Structure 1
C-alpha cells in the first residue's frame, strides 16, 4: 500500500504529470505578482518617500512572522493529535521502512497488528473492512474508503497500515490537515519515510514551508530510494516556487540532473516539473528541450505535446 499508495495518492498533486504542480506554480505567480505590485511604486510615484517603502517592508515582515507563528501552532496541533491517538492505542509496532504494505491481500504482520489492536474475536471483521477500504482506494472511491477508515482508525489507532491508508485517502480528498495528522501517526508508528513526499505536500498545501523542508532533509538523510526521493524533491521544489523562489526551485530540481537514456516514470515527472519552471523563468530553449525529450519517450505523458506546441 505504501509504494502503490504513493503513486495513487500523488496522482493529482505530485505525480501524474504534476497538474497540481502547475496550479501551484500559477498560484505562486499570481500571489507573488500581487506582492510585487503592492511593494512597487505606482505609476507616477517614482519619487515615493523612503519612509513609505520602509513602512511597507515592515508590514510585509510582520505579516510573514505572524503567518510563521500560525504555522507552528498548527504543526504542533497536528503532531500532538497524532501522538495522542497513538498513545491511547497502547504499544506501537514499528515496521521496516523498506517493506510496503500490500493492498488487497493483507500481510501477516498487518493481521497480527490488527489482532493485537482489536482482539482475536473482532480481527476478522476488521481485516475484511480494511480490504474493502483498500479496494475502494484503488478504484478511487475515496468517500467510501474514508468512511470505513475513520472507524478503523478509531478502533485500531496503533496499526500503521490503517493510519497510512486513511492518510492517503484524506490526501486524495484534499483534506490536508486531517491527512497530515494520519500520516504523522503513520510516520511515528512505522518509523518510515515512505510517505514523506505526501506528508510534505500536505504541509505545502497548508503553506508550512519549514515542515516541507524538514521532511525533505529527512528524506535526503535516509535516501530510501530514487522514486521516493524524486517525489520529495519535486514537492520541495514546488514549495520554493510557491514562495516565489523560482531560481531556487530550478536549482533543486536541476542539481545532479541528467536526462537518462532509459527514463522511468519518476524521471519524466522530474523533467516535466523542471521544464515547467524553465518556461516560467523565461528559459524557453531549455523548457522546449526537456518537453521534447519527454514527448520523445512518452507523447501521452500529461499535456506535454500541448506544452511543446505552445513553445514552438
Structure 2
C-alpha cells in the first residue's frame, strides 16, 4: 500500500505543531511498511491508534501491520473497525485471510459473498477469490478451489499483480491436485512476465 495521506478534515482540530508531528509519524510509518519493517510500524502506531480513534487511515495501517505480523485476531478487530469508519470494502480480502488463518472457513465464505455482491474493482475481487479458494483447499475441497479460481480473470493482455497472484494460486492448486501439466504451464506463464516471482523457479524445477 502507498504511504497513507491523512484527511485534512480529520486533523483540523489539532494545532499546526500537532498536525505536522502526526503527519511526520504517519509518513515514517508508511515508509517502514513499504520496506517491510513491520515491527517498527507497530511501535509508531501503537500509541496513535488509541489517541486518534476516528482517523481511519491510522487504524487501517495498524490493522494491515498486525496482519503482516501474523496477529490475526488483533488485525481482524482493527480492520473491522477501520472499515466501519469508512464504509470501505477494500480490506475485506485481508479480513477474510485472517479468518482463514484462524480456521474460520464459514466466516471466509461470508466475507467472500459480501465482496462478490458489492462488485469491487478487479484487484480486490481477485484477492478475495484467492482467499476463498485457499480456504476451500484447506478443508480438502481442492477441486472447488480450482473451479473458483478458473472463474477469475485468467486471460489478460496486460498482466498486473493480481493476475500473477491468481495464476500462482491456480498453479499451486493444480499441483496439489496432481495435475502437473497444468501446474507447469501456470508457473511458466508467471515466469514469462515475472521471472523472479516468489518460488516459481523452484516449483518449475520440481515439476520437470
With normalisation by structure 2, the TM-score equals 0.91
**Given the alignment, which residue of 170, 173, 191 partners 1:277?**
173
Quote the Cα distance in structure 1 between the aligned partners of 2:152 and 2:123.
15
Structure 1 pair 286/194, CA: closer, same or farther in 2 (3 Å)? same
- 2:120 is the alignment partner of 1:220: no
Quote the Cα distance in structure 1 between the aligned partners of 2:58 and 2:152.
37
Structure with greater contact order relative to length (CA < 8 Å, sep ≥ 6):
1
Q: Aligned to 2:11, what secondary structure does the other structure show?
A: helix
Deviation at 1:267, TM superposition (A): 0.9
Question: More displaced, 206-215 or 229-238?
Answer: 206-215
Instruction: Name stretches of at least 5 consecutive residues in structure 2 with no aligned partner.
Output: none
Instruction: Name stretches of at least 5 consecutive residues in structure 1 with no aligned partner.
Output: 5-101
- 2:98 is the alignment partner of 1:202: yes
- Is the CA contact (8 Å cut-off) linking 1:114 and 1:127 kept in structure 2? no
- Is the CA contact (8 Å cut-off) linking 1:130 and 1:162 kept in structure 2? yes
Quote the Cα distance in structure 2 between the aligned partners of 1:308 and 1:270.
17
Deviation at 1:169, TM superposition (A): 0.8
Aligned match of 2:107: 211
Q: Aligned to 1:295, what secondary structure does the other structure show?
A: helix
- Deviations along 1:30-49, one digit per CA (max 9) or x if unpaired, are xxxxxxxxxxxxxxxxxxxx
**Given the alignment, which residue of 182, 198, 204 partners 2:78?**
182
Aligned match of 1:161: 57
Structure 1 pair 307/223, CA: closer, same or farther in 2 (3 Å)? same
Question: More displaced, 123-132 or 154-163?
Answer: 123-132
- Is the CA contact (8 Å cut-off) linking 2:79 and 2:91 kept in structure 1? yes
- Deviations along 1:129-156, one digit per CA (max 9) or x if unpaired, are 2222222222222122112211111011
Quote the Cα distance in structure 2 between the aligned partners of 1:306 and 1:125.
46
**Given the alignment, which residue of 237, 255, 272 partners 2:151?**
255
- 2:29 is the alignment partner of 1:129: no
Give the structure with higher Rg (CA): 1
The number of residue pairs the alignment matches comes to: 207
Q: CA RMSD in A?
A: 1.8
Quote the Cα distance in structure 1 between the aligned partners of 2:193 and 2:28.
36
- Deviations along 1:204-225, one digit per CA (max 9) or x if unpaired, are 1111112211211121112221
